[in-house]
């Protein structure tokens, strides 16, 4: 597979388009039949597993061939006090716990 060069290259616009299309074709051909969803975006291919968003997605930059893996983590923390479950084993999540989770601090103002 050819890597597309953008800076300082003497390739003309048609050569860049042909190289980009070759990269897309090669990826689609090599992943064919594996049950993966391949979406073509303006500057990248995004490959994911349908029905399994928790597994994340692979992003391939069309201009450079760089491959990145992106995955969102999801952790259930509990419920807000006074809302949700009456289960005593389920954790209460107050505003200090939310602030601490997002800032890495105790959530109290710095006085």
Check residue 93 and give its pLDDT: 93
Domain ranges of the chain: 13-70, 75-111
Check residue 108 and give its pLDDT: 52
DSSP assignment string, 41-86: -SSEEEEE-TT-GGG-EEEEETTT--EEEE--------B-TTSS--
pLDDT tens digits for range 20-72: 999 999 999 999 999 999 999 999 999 999 989 889 999 999 999 999 999 98
pLDDT tens digits for range 92-110: 999 999 999 889 876 454 4
pLDDT tens digits for range 3-15: 454 455 555 889 9
Cα separation values, 109 from 47, 62, 70, 95, Å:
42, 45, 33, 12
């Amino acid at each position: 597979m050819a890597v597309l060069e953008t800076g300082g290259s003497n390739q003309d616009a048609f050569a860049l388009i042909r190289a980009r299309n070759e990269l897309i074709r090669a990826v689609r051909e090599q992943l064919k039949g594996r049950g993966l969803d391949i979406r073509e975006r303006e500057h990248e291919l995004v490959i994911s597993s349908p029905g399994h968003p928790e597994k994340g997605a692979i992003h391939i930059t069309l201009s450079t061939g760089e491959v990145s893996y992106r995955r969102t983590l999801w952790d259930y923390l509990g419920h807000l006090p006074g809302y949700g479950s009456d289960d005593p084993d389920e954790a209460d999540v107050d505003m200090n716990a939310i602030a601490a989770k997002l800032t890495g601090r105790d959530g109290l103002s710095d006085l």
